Amino acid sequence: MQQRPLGRTGRDVSAIGLGTWQLGADWGDVSEADAEAVLEASVARGVTLFDTADVYGDGRSESIIGRFLAARPELDITVATKMGRRMEQEPENYVPANFRAWTDRSRRNLGVDTLDLVQLHCPPTAVIEDAAVYDALDALVDDGAISAYGVSVETCDQALAAIARPNVTNVQIIFNPFRLKPLDAVLPAAAVAGVSIFARVPLASGLLSGKYSAATTFSSDDHRSYNRHGEAFDRGETFSGVDYDLGLQAVQRLTAVLPEGVTLPAATLAWIAAQTGVTSAIPGARSVAQAESNADAAALIADGSLEAFDEAVHRVYDELLRDEIHPHW
Ligand SMILES: NC(=O)c1ccc[n+]([C@@H]2O[C@H](COP(=O)([O-])OP(=O)(O)OC[C@H]3O[C@@H](n4cnc5c(N)ncnc54)[C@H](OP(=O)(O)O)[C@@H]3O)[C@@H](O)[C@H]2O)c1
């Protein structure tokens, strides 16, 4: 597994990490034993980055990771958590006292004195543009509560605002074959600034696994049932904001150009991780088989087999998706 610098922290993280929203809630039931097996399988394949958040299962994802790592002190894993979604999304809630309380809770959940990396969890634009917020985050670094901080964002404009701040380590943004706008300005700006990009929702919530059909259903506690139109949070977080049936058409066209023996999720993850400016793609996994095949996709990053796929990604986006997606995020 390729390891890459995490901003200017001096740490390296794997080109394919692990998203652990699934190990908290909102994706149907994942038992604690299954969650631990997913973490174990990922680490065995060279994954050194876990992405989590204080709200995933109200701390369940963080706590499972904390227990897993406490039992394996020999591992050198970077845990990137997130904060800010335990309160109403009002700029006045993003103040030092709340930052302190949120990070203290994550430190307890993860069982550490210092958090490796804390990302603001898709806050309002006014927060991303507020210098006082970054002063408060710098103070947490100075106090040793956190080692580094970043910003998870919805839009490219928000990403560019965060990248412009001097001490931001990473920006997390949706980037996948259904979401190409970050290629225009965000990835180049991040590369110049030395800011890491984490590509989240890399499989468009599983649509880019190629395993769903028009007949597929999701359980009622799965956001792919209850957030298709943004009922609970930004609709872009579910299927990347792509209409489900249109997504199935796009998947069919991408599948047609896969190299022999390569699956759609593997090609997708390797394609994402190969883009200049991307530090890590962070797919979520609900099973050991998913975790293993996602980590193994790293072998395709530089093997030269994805030229036709790359061409198809751009063509399919331009023909089917650009008009719907580009103006929104
Ligand atoms: N606001 C934010 O900051 C934010 C928002 C969203 C996500 N995230 C982070 O980004 C991570 C990744 O995004 P995501 O989990 O939403 O979406 P994703 O990674 O695009 O999709 C995950 C889903 O894809 C399917 N899948 C994964 N690997 C597969 C494989 N090898 N073969 C077949 N299917 C596979 C699984 O679907 P099934 O469940 O159907 O098996 C899995 O639940 C999250 O876990 C979280 O850490 C952050």
Instruction: Identify the pLDDT of residue 27.
Output: 81
Nearest to 35 by CA among 61, 66, 74, 58: 61
Question: Which spans in the chain are helix H?
Answer: 32-44, 60-70, 96-110, 125-128, 131-143, 156-163, 186-193, 223-226, 244-255, 264-274, 288-296, 307-316, 322-325
Considering only CA atoms, which residue is closest to atom 27 of ligand 1?
A: 285
Atom of ligand 1 nearest to the CA of 122: 1
Instruction: Check if the beta carbon of residue 42 is closer than 8 Å to that of residue 291.
Output: yes
Nearest to 156 by CA among 169, 175, 129, 131: 175
Domain ranges across the chain? 3-325
List of residues 6+ apart from 80 with CB closer than 8 A: 49, 50, 51, 52, 116, 117, 118, 119, 150, 170, 172, 198
C-beta of 121 in contact with ligand 1 (< 6 A): yes
C-beta of 6 in contact with ligand 1 (< 6 A): no
Nearest to 49 by CA among 328, 291, 250, 303: 291
C-beta of 238 in contact with ligand 1 (< 6 A): no
How many helices (H) does the chain have, and how many strands (E)?
13, 10
User: Ligand 1 centroid vs 284 CA: distance in angstroms?
Assistant: 3
| β-bridge mates for residue 151, sequence order | 120, 171
| β-bridge mates for residue 219, sequence order | none
Atom of ligand 1 nearest to the CA of 198: 10
C-beta of 200 in contact with ligand 1 (< 6 A): yes
Atom of ligand 1 nearest to the CA of 176: 20
Considering only CA atoms, which residue is closest to atom 44 of ligand 1?
A: 19
Distance CA 76, CA 217 (A): 38
Considering only CA atoms, which residue is closest to atom 28 of ligand 1?
A: 290
Instruction: Identify the pLDDT of residue 28.
Output: 76
C-beta of 21 in contact with ligand 1 (< 6 A): yes
User: Ligand 1 centroid vs 267 CA: distance in angstroms?
Assistant: 15
Atom of ligand 1 nearest to the CA of 27: 39
Q: What is the pLDDT of residues 80-93, one digit of tens each?
A: 999 999 999 999 99
Q: What does residue 169 show for φ and ψ, rounded to 5 degrees?
A: -85, -40
User: Ligand 1 centroid vs 286 CA: distance in angstroms?
Assistant: 8
Instruction: Check if the beta carbon of residue 89 is closer than 8 Å to that of residue 123.
Output: yes
Instruction: Identify the pLDDT of residue 286.
Output: 93
CATH number, domain 3-325, options 3.20.20.100, 3.40.50.300, 3.30.420.40, 3.10.180.10: 3.20.20.100
C-beta of 79 in contact with ligand 1 (< 6 A): no
Return the sign of the alpha-carbon dihedral for residues 188, 14, 253, 204: negative
C-beta of 103 in contact with ligand 1 (< 6 A): no
Q: What is the model's pTM?
A: 0.96
Residues of the chain with pLDDT under 50: none
Instruction: Check if the beta carbon of residue 251 is closer than 8 Å to that of residue 208.
Output: yes
Instruction: Identify the pLDDT of residue 25.
Output: 80
Atom of ligand 1 nearest to the CA of 287: 41
Instruction: Identify the pLDDT of residue 29.
Output: 81
Considering only CA atoms, which residue is closest to atom 5 of ligand 1?
A: 237
Hey, what amino acid is at 130? D
28: left (phi over 0), alpha (psi -120 to 50) or beta: left
Distance CA 289, CA 278 (A): 25
